[in-house]
Amino acid sequence: MSIVVTGATGQLGRLVVEGLLKSVDPGLVVAVVRDEKKAEDLAARGVRIKVADYDAPETLAGVFEAGDRVLFVSGSEAGRRVPQHTAVIEAAKAAGVAQLAYTGILGGPDADFLLAEEHKATEQLILDSGVPYTFLRNGWYHENYTAQLPVVLEHGAVVTSAGDGRVASAPRADYADAAVAVLTGDGHLGTAYELSGDEAYSFDEYAATVARLSGRDVVHRRVSPEENLAILTGAGLPEAFAGILVDVDAAIERGLLARRDGDLARLIGRPTTPIADTVAEALKA
């Protein structure tokens, strides 16, 4: 039995591999990557590397073996995930894996926003396949916002069309720790975990946190969805992707990313990391 991580050199996958290396022998860890060069450091530490591409189903043959526990990190290209994910699920089923842990989205079938559609379709494909599964329904990442801090500080504003909506986000590292717990522990099969932070904050509160920690004047600038779309496309984002982000803000305003079930804290065995801690780290960087 091996523990296999797909997308292992991505932002989440690499954190999961690092977490696994703290608790299991490196020889038990398999990193599935598209670019072998990006995994040279992992190979040097004893991790087995396999090269595969979600867009090339033939490359997935032999990636998984009977009895493997697999973390299936969802693809990052909206609009292409269903065929990509179908190829991974079929390869996992053919191999007879013992667990397919999929990183979906908070709310699962109850999430009614655009970004959730491909995740919901993937969960159904996994259920239909009969592969033993665990659904890791990840909420929003702190880093989705802290990555934008240079722009926020330049303009003195956090710009959203989310109104008074709140977000129960957590850092990628917390979600990675939850994945490690599920891959190395027992009793997780057939379970869907709703993963989110312990605290739900508004963007007024987020802007105030950034202002306090940076010593700069920062406010939450509320705009309409149409204004938000224009701002995002004006910044160079493709209109389709910008539309997805505006739709996420609408979901936030409806309270869909403020859900707090406590699953993340229970899996990692500690409180989730507050947004202020991640803001402070990002400002230092």
CATH number, domain with residue 82? 3.40.50.720
Range 168-190 average pLDDT: 98
Q: Is pLDDT of 251 > 90?
A: yes
Cβ atoms < 10 Å from Cβ of 219: 17
Whether 134 and 152 share a structural domain = no
Q: Is pLDDT of 79 > 80?
A: no
Whether 48 and 164 share a structural domain = no
Range 40-53 average pLDDT: 97
Looking from the CA of 148 toward its CB, the CA atoms found within 13 Å total: 16
Whether 108 and 78 share a structural domain = yes
Cα separation of 89 and 135, whole Å?
13
Cα separation of 252 and 159, whole Å?
14
Cα separation of 4 and 98, whole Å?
11
Cα separation of 134 and 185, whole Å?
12
pLDDT of residue 284: 95
Cα separation of 73 and 144, whole Å?
17
Range of the domain at 59: 3-138
Cα separation of 245 and 228, whole Å?
9
Query: Who contacts 109 (Cβ-Cβ below 8 Å, separation ≥6)?
Result: 120, 123
| Burial of 238: CB neighbours in 10 Å, binned 0-12, 13-18, 19+ | exposed
Going by pLDDT thresholds of 50, 70 and 90, the confidence category of residue 1 is confident
Count: domains in the chain? 2
Cα separation of 171 and 273, whole Å?
7
Whether 101 and 207 share a structural domain = no
* Mean pLDDT, the chain, integer: 96
Going by pLDDT thresholds of 50, 70 and 90, the confidence category of residue 80 is confident
Cα separation of 93 and 96, whole Å?
5
pLDDT of residue 76: 79
Residue 152: name the closest of 61, 214, 198 by CA: 214
Q: Is pLDDT of 24 > 80?
A: yes
Whether 215 and 127 share a structural domain = no
Range 93-105 average pLDDT: 98
Q: Is pLDDT of 269 > 80?
A: yes
Give the model confidence (pLDDT) of 13-22 as tens digits: 999 999 999 9
Whether 97 and 156 share a structural domain = no
Residue 213 placed within a domain:
yes
